[in-house]
Structure 1
Amino acid sequence: MVVPRSPLDDPENAAFAWARYKRIMRAMGWVTLAVVFATLAFLFWQNGFVSINFFVATALGVGGMMLLTAALMGLVFLSSGTGHDAAVVDPFADEDA
């Protein structure tokens, strides 16, 4: 079985795809920062100063969750946008469902 070449093997195509991924991550980093500050401001407005640990844990939890989600979705967009998904060989394509 011949494995098709990945579109990311082309340096020009790969550079474009990774630049787009970095642009998405940069934008999501700014969105994440804004959401974390808005969340902390809302919690301070509702509860006052509870504990520094509460605010640090909230900031790390919300920020980490948003950045991880953005990174994984960015990789999905990178994979499907470059045609990398089409280059995968499905070993079960011959089997009857």
Structure 2
Amino acid sequence: MAPKSPLDDPEKAAFAWARYKRIMRFMLLLTILVVGAAMLAIFWSEAEVSPHFFIAVALGIGMTMLLASALMGLVFLSNGTGHDESIHNPLEDDER
């Protein structure tokens, strides 16, 4: 039987999810700044690009950064709360 996860406690879970949301708000702000800087760099480069290029670059950078930060935030949430330690590893008992 697997041990209980620390995230089963509502108080610890609320703290962990609040921390995750704080990380995601920061990363959203950082993503907006990076996308804005990329748009300015493309605009100032005086290259003749279509508006579709601006949209593609903004979506590409934005979605990549947000997806990466969401996944890394979940890793931090899982590790920081001790949730990773609450699994039962059936191979741990095997002797080689």
TM-score tier after normalising by the smaller chain length: over 0.9
Tell me, yes or no, if structure 1 residue 51 matches structure 2 residue 50.
yes
Unaligned runs of 5+ in 2: none
Q: Structure 2 matches for 1:1-97, cutoff 5 A?
A: 2-96=1-95
The number of aligned residues is: 96
**Distance in 2 of aligned mates of 1:51 and 1:95:** 61
Deviating 4+ runs (over 6 angstroms): none
AA matched with 1:94: D
Which stretch shows the higher mean deviation, 55-64 or 43-52?
A: 43-52
Considering only aligned residues, what root-mean-square deviation do their CA atoms show, in Å?
Answer: 1.2
Q: Using the TM superposition, name which of 83-92 and 53-62 deviates more.
A: 83-92
TM-score normalised by L of structure 1? 0.93
SS in 2 for 1:90: coil
Q: Deviations over 1:20-45 (max 9, x none)?
A: 00000000000000000001111111
Identical-residue share of aligned pairs (%): 58
SS of residue in 1 equivalent to 2:45: helix
Question: What TM-score do you get using the length of structure 2 for normalisation?
Answer: 0.94
Instruction: Kindly provide the amino acid, as one letter, of the partner of residue 39 in structure 1.
Output: A
